[in-house]
């Protein structure tokens, strides 16, 4: 697999965190896969991740301060081999936005960790600290799932 895109609603909490967690696990494993993140809405375009997401990522050992929010584009569906949605609403929006010549596999990121027990990464934006910690925990489980998949494929 060449590259993947992580998508949430605002691109300031879950998907920039996803990109960084996957980058971290991929580099640990010495696997080169391109990653990026985007949102289905443009409200936060150009913004740094949410301060709470930055803090929780830092506690987890990763730096997301260089990420900047952007919106999903039609070109993303041709450029990225896989597009991972955080929740069902993101997935529905993506399937609506997909151009006819889309070549991307579009699916929920938690399909990578079917044993986790949750199929959607809940939006932490309006909640407390627990939500942000849970996002990291879930995405780490998903990244581990991808590592297993790649190890099996090789
Ligand atoms: P995210 O969280 O989709 O994980 O980046 C949100 C960020 C912003 C908003 C909602 C969710 N918002 O409504 O502005």
Sequence ranges of the domains in the chain: 3-153
CA–centroid distance, residue 26 to ligand 1 (Å): 26
Q: Which of 14, 25, 93, 140 is catalytic?
A: 14
pLDDT value at residue 14 = 98
| Residue nearest atom 7 in ligand 1 by C-alpha distance | 10
120 lines ligand 1 (CB under 6 A): no
Longest Cα–Cα distance in the chain:
41
- Sort strands 82-85 and 34-39 into parallel, antiparallel or unpaired: unpaired
CA–centroid distance, residue 21 to ligand 1 (Å): 18
DSSP states of 34-67: EEEEEESS-TTTTPPPPHHHHHHHHHHT---TT-
Ligand 1: nearest atom to the Cα of 43 = 14
17 lines ligand 1 (CB under 6 A): no
Domain spanning 3-153: CATH superfamily: Response regulator (3.40.50.2300)
49 lines ligand 1 (CB under 6 A): no
Prediction pTM value: 0.98
Is the torsion defined by CA of 67, 74, 125, 16 positive or negative? negative
69 lines ligand 1 (CB under 6 A): no
DSSP states of 111-153: GG-TTSS-SS----TTS-HHHHHHHHHHHHHHHHHHHHHHHHH
Residues of the chain with pLDDT under 70: 154
Query: Which residue bears the tokens 């997301």?
Result: 64
């Amino acid at each position: 697999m060449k590259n993947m895109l992580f998508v949430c609603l605002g691109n300031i909490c879950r998907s920039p965190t996803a990109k960084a967690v996957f980058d971290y696990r991929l580099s640990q494993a010495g696997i080169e896969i391109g990653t990026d993140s985007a949102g289905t809405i443009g409200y936060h375009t150009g913004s740094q991740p949410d301060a709470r997401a930055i803090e929780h990522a830092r506690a987890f050992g990763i730096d997301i301060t260089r990420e900047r929010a952007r919106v999903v584009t039609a070109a993303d569906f041709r450029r990225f081999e896989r597009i991972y949605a955080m929740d069902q609403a993101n997935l529905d929006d993506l399937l609506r936005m997909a151009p006819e010549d889309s070549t991307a596999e579009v699916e929920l990121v938690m399909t990578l960790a079917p044993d986790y027990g949750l199929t959607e990464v809940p939006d932490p934006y309006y909640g407390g600290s627990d939500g942000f910690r849970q996002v990291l925990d879930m995405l780490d489980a998903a990244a581990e799932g991808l590592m297993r998949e790649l190890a099996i494929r090789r």
